[in-house]
Amino acid sequence: MGIGTVKAVFLDRDGVLNQSIVRDGTPHPPAGLEQLAIYPDAAEALRRLKQAGYLLIVVTNQPDIARGTETRAAVDRINAAIGASLPVDEFLVCAHDDADNCPCRKPKPGMVLDAAARHAINLPHSFLVGDRWRDIDCGAAAGVRTVLIHRGYRERAPVHAPDFVAESLAAAADWILHANTP
């Protein structure tokens, strides 16, 4: 698995491409388009990654769908708005909660592994950029290098240390573009 020829950057959505809504130190997704705020550095960072030949795939947990506090249509509208502003190739959404024990909910690597199989992605030459422990542990489980964008949340650390810690998506892109391939 993952010994294809395509290189990819897997990106979490909330807290990486767009601002999370932080309550009591915990990040939450925007409830709708009126709360969507794409980070100012996202378009240029993704353009640079795309120009370097990376496939850009968003892998996002959206458990509020399973919890009944958000609709799939609302999540799809947010993804469409982000996709209209940023050069994302694909959005993969896990609509499950932890209790569902599905293989696609991060920190499990299902979304990354499915995309790798579908697109012939070379996982050791690919990356996952996230802002939470679930993202980093997912990337480690999938065999990609990981970048944690530090947003100062009050939650546990990942089991696996990230390969790099960045303060922004622009800094993450800089590191990826200058990282030596394994």
Domain-located, residue 1: no
pLDDT at residue 179, rounded to an integer: 86
| Burial class of residue 34, CB neighbours in 10 A (0-12, 13-18, 19+) | exposed
pLDDT at residue 148, rounded to an integer: 98
Number of domains in the chain: 1
Token pair in block for residue 107: 């920190």
DSSP 8-state class, residue 125: G
Domain-located, residue 106: yes
Q: 0.85 exceeded by the pTM?
A: yes
Indicate if the pLDDT at residue 180 is higher than 70: no
Domain-located, residue 2: no
How sure is the predictor about 53, in pLDDT bands with cuts at 50, 70 and 90?
very high
Give catalytic residues, as residue numbers. 12, 14
Indicate if the pLDDT at residue 118 is higher than 90: yes
Domain-located, residue 38: yes
High-pLDDT (> 90) share of the chain, %: 88
> What residues are paired with 122 via a beta bridge?
3
Domain-located, residue 3: no
pLDDT at residue 4, rounded to an integer: 81
Token pair in block for residue 62: 């959206």
Beta-carbon contacts of residue 140 (< 8 Å; ≥ 6 apart): 146, 158, 159, 160
Helix (H, G, I), strand (E, B) or coil at 35: helix
Indicate if the pLDDT at residue 2 is higher than 80: no
